[in-house]
Amino acid sequence: MNLSPESRRALSRQYKESVRPAGVFVVRNTVSGRVYVAGSLDVEGAMNRARFELGLGSHRCKPLGQDWAAQGAAHFSFEVMDRVKEREDDPAFDRKAELEKLLALWQEELQCFGEKGYNKP
């Protein structure tokens, strides 16, 4: 597919200006059942970054990284748990605040702190 430079620039600009889905995702250890719950304003990108960091052995959550290294990638699953419902018609809508509420809800629901999870309180 040969695109003109103008078309490439337009597509690049369009991509950069697009709003990516915000949401909460979980990394689940299928052997122990422990979970790591995180949220991002770009949930798909954050999941990809977590997968990449775990593969490199450089994830910020050391216990999760240690289990990943010991048990292997095949024993972990990644799942988007929820997405922020966009409200474009509401000028006071705060995506970040909505994401923080969703994250707190899922962290409580999945009990990702202590022995059942990898998150730090």
Please report whether residue 80 resides in a domain: yes
| d(C-alpha 41, C-alpha 47), whole Å | 11
- Owning domain of residue 34: 20-116
Q: What is the pLDDT of residues 64-110, one digit of tens each?
A: 999 999 999 999 999 999 999 988 888 889 999 999 999 999 999 99
Under DSSP, is residue 38 helix (H, G, I), strand (E, B) or coil?
Answer: strand
Any domain includes 41: yes
Q: Which of 41, 2, 24 is nearest to 78 (CA)?
A: 24
Q: Which CATH number does the domain housing residue 101 bear?
A: 3.40.1440.10
Number of separate domains in the chain: 1
Whether 91 is covered by a domain: the verdict is yes
Residue 6 lies inside a defined structural domain of this protein: no
pLDDT value at position 5?
87
Query: What global pTM score does this model have?
Result: 0.84
For residue 8, being part of any structural domain is answered with no
106 closest CA partner among 86, 87, 80: 80
Q: Tell me, what's the pLDDT at 71?
A: 97
pLDDT digits (tens, 9 = 90+) for 22-79: 999 999 999 999 999 999 999 999 999 999 999 999 999 999 999 999 999 999 999 9
In a domain, 15, yes or no: no
Instruction: Give CA–CA dist 40/22, Å, rounded.
Output: 6
36 is a domain residue: yes
Domain membership of residue 13 (yes or no) is no
The band of 1, judged by pLDDT with boundaries at 50, 70 and 90, is: low
